[in-house]
Chains A and B, each alone.
Chain A
Amino acid sequence: MIKVIIDGKETRVPKGTTILEAARALHIPIPTLCNHPKLSPYGGCRLCLVEVKGNRHPVTSCSVPASDGMEVVTSTPLLERIRKTNIELLLSDHPNDCMVCEKAGDCTLQELAYFYGIRENRFAGERRIYEKKDANPFIERDMEKCILCGLCVRVCEEVEGVSAIDFAYRGFNAKIVPSFEKALDCEFCGQCVAVCPTGALTGKMWSYKGRQKDVRDVDTVCSYCGCGCNLTLHIRRNEVVRVSSRDDTINEGWLCAKGRFGYSFVNSPERLKTPLIKEKGTFREASWDEALDLVANKLKKIRAKHGADAIAGLSSARCTNEENYLFQKFMRAAVGTNNIDHCARL
C-alpha cells in the first residue's frame, strides 16, 4: 500500500492504482469523458488533468499511477480553465440539439456543459456533417455527436474481442468507422452503446420512447440463456422501452445482442401469458393448476401402460442451471427414467 495526498486528504491505495481511482475512493470528483474503469486508459479527452507536486505539466489522472507520497491537486484555476476550454471545444463541434436528443439527461457532455456554465461558445466554427446510413435495426450512429473518446473502440476490442470499429482519418476529420466505412455489420451486442458518453450511439428501437428521467427501473434476470445476466428494464407507462445492466452485477454490466435488444416480445400482443390446452383441434386458455394436472395425469397414464422409459424429457438452454438440475431430478426420481436431454448438447 502506498500513501497519496489528494487535495489535502490522505489515503492509502494498492500500488498500480491510478490517481483517478484514488481520488474516486476519496469521493473527490474529477471530470472524465474517455475513462472507463474496466477499459485501458486512453488520455484523449484531457479533462482529468491534475497537478502533481514536482511535475512541470499537469498529468492525466486516468493513466498515471499514484506513487508513494505523491501530492495531487485536482482543481486549480489553470485546471478549471483547461477543462472549460476543452468542453467548449467539444461543444463547438457538436449539434446543439439536446432538446430532441435521446441522451439528454443521461449525457456526460451535457452534464459537464451545465457544470461549467457554457452558453456562448468562443470557438464556434465548422462542424462535421455526417449522414446516418446504417440499416441495422439495433444501433443508431449519429457521428456528428461523437467526441472521439474511443470508448466504443476499446470496449469492442478489449471486452468483445471483435474490433468491428476503429479510428479513421486524421485531425478534425477523425472518425470512428467500421471497416472501409461500410454500414455497421457486427454482432450488435451494443456494448459500444452502453459506454458511449454522448448521444452518438443509441438503440434504434429506443428513439422517442422516453428519456432517462421518464423511466422507472426494474432489475431482473435475462431469460435468454442460462448465464443469468442481470438486466435493468427501463419502463415507461408500463412498457419496456430499453434494457441496460448495472456494472456491479455478475455480468459486470456487459450484455449480448439478445439481452440488450431482444425485449420486444415482452410487449408483444401475441405473447402467451397463460398455459393453453388443445381441445378438438383448438387451443383454449387455462390456469397453471389445470395445465399441470393434465400433464401429470397423462404422464402417470403413459407410465402405467408403457413403463417409465416410454417417457423422455428435453430441457432448454434458456433455463438456469438450477432449473435444469431440477428437471433431470424430476425425470429420474419422479418419472423414473434416464431419458433426459438438453438442447445445448446437440
Chain B
Amino acid sequence: MGTGGIAAGGADVMDVFKKRLKEKGIQSEVKKHCSMHKVGCRGLCARDVLVDVIRYDVKTTYQFIKSDMVERIVEEHIVRGTPVAEWLVPEDYHHFHDKQVKVVLADCGMVDPEDIESYFGAGGYEALRKVLSGLTPEETIDVIKRSGLRGRGGAGFPTGLKWELTRKAAGNPKYVICNADEGDPGAFMDRSVIEGNPHAVIEGMIIAAHAIGSDHGYVYIRAEYPLAVERLRKALQQARHHNLLGENIIGTAMDFDIKVKLGAGAFVCGESTALMYSIEGKRGMPRVTPPRSTEAGLWKLPTCLNNVETLANVPSIIRNGAEWYASFGTEKSKGTKVFALTGKIKNSGLIEVPMGIPLRQIVYDIGGGIENDKAFKAVQMGGPSGGCIPVEHLDVPVDFESLTALGAMVGSGGLVVMDEDSCMVDVAKYFLHFTQSESCGKCTPCRIGTKRLLEILERITAGDGREGDIDLLLDLSADIKVSSLCGLGQSAPNPIITTIRYFREEFEAHVTGKKCPAKVCRKLLAYSIYEERCKGCGACVRVCPAGAITGEKKKPHVINPEICIKCGSCVEACKFKAIGRE
C-alpha cells in the first residue's frame, strides 16, 4: 500500500479483512497456507484497491475493492474456494504488465516494505554481501560502468563514472547522497519505490559507499512524503539492527550510516548543489560549477549524489550481473525506466519499461489508450523540464537521446497523457507557472525571464496576445535556456518551445483569432443559447452565479455576454444541450 493505495481505501480494506478472518475463526487456518501482507505500490493505481488472494498457490486478483466487499470475498473465496467472478480483474489487467520489465519495481508490490525479513526472502542484501565479500571498490565500479546505468533523475549521467570520479577525488570524508526530492508535477516514481521497497535504496547506497569509500550517507527526501519517510526510517532502523549499517558492517571493516534530511518544499532543492546547501542548513540555491560535486560537494568534500531509482537498480545489477542489465534497453540507454503514467489515460499508474520501448506501446498497450476513447493529442514527458510529444512522434523510442532530439526528455519519469480537450497554450502556461514560482531567484534569466514568459502566455490565453508574441516567446526561451545557471532555468522554456514547435497553429488561433480551439481558456470562450433547443425551463437561470441569463418561462432564454463570467455552470445544468460554448 503506497500513498495512492491508502487514499483509495487500502488501509480500510486491510482492516476489514483482518476483522472478518478473526470473526470466522479461520485466522490460524489462513496462516497455515498463506500470510496476510501489506505490500507497496502494485502499479495500476487506476484499479485501486487491488487485492491478491493466494489460495493453495493459485493467485487471484481483485480490483476496485471496497471495505464492504470484503465479507463476500472471505465467505465465498477464502472459506469456500469460489472466487467472486464479477470483481476479478479482467483480461486487460494482464496486458498492463505484458510489455513491462521490472527491475526496480520487481519487488515493489511483492515484499512488505516494513519488514526486512520479507526483503531478505526476496534476495535482499545478497548483493551487498557479494560486494563486501568479494568485490573491491574498483571492481564494483566496473560492474556498474559495464551495466551502462545512467542517472535516473533526469540528466542521465553515467553512474559508474560518477562513482569513479568521487572515489578518485581528494578529500575525506566522502559522502553518498540519495536524492529523493522528487518534485515534478505528476511524478511519483521515487515515492513509490521508497514506499514499496525502501531496503533496495538503502542497499544501493551502502554499495555506492563501498565503491567510493564513504562512511556517511544522506537521504534528502521531501517532507511532503510522510509515508515514505516513515517507511525509510523504519527500514534504516531494521538495517542497523541487522548490522547492515553502522560500524563493521556484517563483520567487515566497513563503517557506514545514513541520515534522513527532510526537504522543506522547494522544488529547486532537487538540483544537486542546492540540495547540498540545504543539507548544510543554508538557502537552497544552486551554485556555479566547476568544481563538480564529485570533487567539492557537501561541505566542500567529494560527494556522490544519485537519484532513488538509480540506487534501487544497483542491487539487481550486482546480483544478476552487468551484462544482464545491459541486455535491456538501447545501445546508449541501457536498462529500464520507471514512469508515472498519468493524465487522460485509462490505466494510470506506476510502470517500468525497457529503455527504447516505443511511446505508442506505453500509451496504448500498457496504458490501455485514452480515457473515454477520445483522441490522443500529446504526451508531456519530463515534467516542467520536459516537453510535449505529439501524435506524429508517437512511435519514438523512449530513451535519453531520442527524446532530447524531440525537445522532450526522459527527465525523472513523469508521463502525462493529454487528449483533444487539452489546450497546449494552457499546458505551457501551467508548467511555466510552476517553474516561475519555483525559481530560486539567483540568476537573471530564470528569475525575471520565466516571469515574462508566463506574462506573455497569460495575455495570450486571456485574448490579449499581440502580434509577434509567439516569436518573442521563442526568442526569450532560447536566451533563458542558454544563459540560466542551473537545470531548472535551462529547461524551464522546454514546454513552450515544444508546444510551439508542434502546435503553433493553436498558439496562432489564440493570438490572431482570439479563440481557444480546445475550449479551455475561459476568457476566450463565449456562451450562447440555441433558440431552437431552449425550452425555457429556467434550470440555467437558477445555477448562473452571475445572473447573466434572462428569459420568460417556456420561451428561449438569452445570456448577456457583458455579465457572463464564463463559468460553464449553465452548460452542465441544461438537459437539452441548448447552450453552446465557442
Contact = CB atoms under 8 A, between A and B. Distances in A.
B202 to A, nearest CB: 32
Interface stretch (B238-246, B342-350, B482-490, B512-520): B482-490
Contact of A57 (B285, B445, B482): B482
A173 B436 CA distance: 10
Interface string A27-71: 000000000000001111110010000000110100111000000
A63 B455 contact: no
A78 B478 CA distance: 10
B482 A78 contact: yes
Contacts of A126: 451, 455
Given A82-B483, A85-B445, A171 B452 contact: no
Given A126-B455, A167-B285, A172 B483 contact: no
Contact of B437 (A46, A65, A147, A171): A171
B438 interface: yes
Contacts of B450: 171-172
Interface stretch (A87-95, A135-143, A192-200, A291-299): A87-95
Contacts of A171: 436-441, 446-447, 450-451
A49 B482 CA distance: 10
A233 B515 CA distance: 63
A46 B485 CA distance: 8
Given A44-B485, A125-B455, A126-B455, A63 B288 contact: yes
Contacts of A123: 448-449, 452, 476
A46 B484 contact: yes
Contact of B287 (A43, A65, A78, A92): A43
Nearest to B446: A171
A63 B486 CA distance: 14
Contact of A170 (B287, B440, B443, B472): B440
B482 A43 contact: no
Contacts of B268: 170
A86 B452 contact: no
A77 to B, nearest CB: 12
B391 to A, nearest CB: 31
Interface residues of B, number: 33
Contacts of A170: 266, 268, 437-441
B290 interface: yes
A174 B440 contact: yes
A93 B440 CA distance: 17
A169 interface: yes
B560 interface: no
A81 B479 contact: yes
Interface in B412-442: 436-442
B444 interface: yes
B479 A44 contact: no
Nearest to B481: A57
B555 interface: no
A45 B441 contact: no
A166 interface: yes
A44 B441 CA distance: 9
B151 to A, nearest CB: 18
B482 A58 contact: yes
Contacts of B445: 46, 85-86, 89
A306 interface: no
A125 B288 contact: no
A86 B479 contact: yes
Contacts, number: 109
Given A42-B288, A123-B452, A89 B444 contact: yes
A89 B290 contact: no
Given A85-B476, A166-B283, A171-B450, A46 B443 contact: yes
A41 B442 CA distance: 13
A44 B448 CA distance: 12
B-side binding surface: helix, strand, loop or mixed?
Answer: helix
A165 to B, nearest CB: 12
Contact of A85 (B437, B441, B455, B479): B479
A148 B290 contact: no
B448 A82 contact: no
B483 A43 contact: no
A271 interface: no
Nearest to B439: A171
A46 B438 CA distance: 19
A172 B288 contact: no
B283 A89 contact: no
B444 A45 contact: yes
Contacts of A89: 444-445, 448-449, 452
Question: Which of B288, B445, B450 has the most A CB atoms < 10 Å from its CB?
Answer: B288
Contacts of A78: 482
Interface in A113-156: 122-123, 125-126, 147-148, 150
Contacts of B285: 167
Given A63-B288, A93-B448, A172 B443 contact: no
Contact of B436 (A42, A147, A172): A172
Question: Which of A49, A150, A171 has the most B CB atoms < 10 Å from its CB?
Answer: A171
A185 B216 CA distance: 40
Question: Which of B266, B285, B442, B485 has the most A CB atoms < 10 Å from its CB?
Answer: B442
B417 to A, nearest CB: 29
A45 B449 CA distance: 12
Nearest to B441: A174
A64 B442 CA distance: 18
Contacts of B436: 171-172
A113 to B, nearest CB: 14
Contact of A125 (B266, B438, B451, B475): B451
A166 B285 CA distance: 12
Interface string A74-85: 000010011001
B411 to A, nearest CB: 19
A63 B436 CA distance: 25
Nearest to A47: B444
A147 B451 CA distance: 15
Contact of A44 (B266, B283, B442): B442
A167 B472 CA distance: 30
A65 B295 CA distance: 15
Nearest to A91: B448
A43 B444 contact: no
Given A41-B288, A64-B290, A86-B479, A173 B452 contact: no
Nearest to B435: A171
Contacts of A173: 441
Contacts of B484: 46
Nearest to A62: B288
Contacts of A86: 444-445, 449, 479, 483
B430 to A, nearest CB: 16
A172 B483 CA distance: 17
Nearest to A58: B482
B448 A172 contact: yes
Nearest to A41: B288
A169 B440 CA distance: 8
Given A58-B482, A123-B476, A174-B442, 7 more contacts: A46-B445, A89-B444, A90-B444, A90-B448, A93-B448, A170-B438, A172-B439
15 contacts: A43-B485, A46-B485, A63-B288, A81-B479, A85-B449, A86-B444, A86-B449, A89-B444, A89-B449, A92-B448, A147-B444, A170-B439, A171-B446, A174-B441, A174-B447
Interface of B: 266, 268, 283, 285, 287-288, 290, 436-452, 455, 472, 475-476, 479, 482-485
Please give me the 9 A-B residue pairs with the lowest Cβ-Cβ distance, nearest first. A174-B441, A43-B288, A171-B439, A63-B288, A89-B448, A85-B479, A172-B451, A123-B452, A125-B455
